[in-house]
Amino acid sequence: MDGADADPVALARLLELAVAALHETRPEQLWSLAFTELLDALDADLAVRKAEEWSPGEGTVRLWTPEGPAHHLLGPEQLDVIRTGYPFVDHYAAGHPLEPLTARATAGAHAWRHAAPAGHLRDALGATDILGLPLPRPEKGAIHGCLLHRTGRRPFTPAHLAYARRAQPVIAAVEAHAAHLRAWRTTPGGPEAATVREERAAALGLTPREITVLALLAEARTATAIAQRLGISPRTVHRHLAHLYRKFGTRDRLATVLRARETGVL
């Protein structure tokens, strides 16, 4: 991937990731699927994910290597270095577009070689370059996303950036899908109630995507609002609604939500 265009094979796998994510009912597995693909396509050694806004000193940091989750690899001091989000947080907070960038391009080649934060990252992780993949968040001004590290090798290439730009909306959709599934599974009633909901949804043949549409429908959202929340078209939402009507034996949105509550799916 040394040219300016993303690898067509990697882009095809990105589509496969989107399809696999839409069929995954376990929200905790979605990020593992996403990072497995990102690490391979970007030839990276470490992926870093922070669910909360990037800020130093607090927040849960999750790590993945090509071999799988690696949350045990780093100590408190190394995690604090990662939590600063250097050099991306200051760049995006200044109002620059939320687009994928490399650390070298963001900080500048001289700062990346000589600045103290860059040195801390090299000492802690061996990072020779980092690719920042920001994700949009409902909270205005929140800096959110993930970081891909390369260690002991040449920098990320223009082709890697081209791939990251194509991957960005897919990863954002995976995140949104995971969040809605997690909310559906963690509504009142505890683990036993969540298990019952999953069993009843499975008995009706509901797909994970139909569940997320149904949950948003229960919030009295329009098809357009649901489409915006999930990053899909209103036409796709209407297709999911038609499937929900058929599976619940209903004809409109209100009846569908009521039936879903009667059956315990909601």
pLDDT 10s digit of each residue in the chain, 266 long?
444 676 788 778 888 887 777 777 777 778 888 888 899 999 999 898 876 667 666 667 788 888 888 766 677 777 777 777 888 888 888 888 889 999 999 998 888 888 888 888 888 778 889 999 988 765 555 677 889 999 877 889 999 999 999 999 888 888 888 888 877 777 666 677 778 888 888 889 998 889 889 988 888 888 888 888 787 888 999 999 999 999 999 988 888 989 988 888 88
CB atoms within 10 A of CB 84: 17
CA atoms within 13 A on the CB side of 37: 25
| Distance in angstroms (rounded) separating the CA atoms of residues 258 and 187 | 17
Residues 6+ apart with CB under 8 A from 213: 226, 230, 237, 240, 241, 244
Confidence (pTM): 0.76
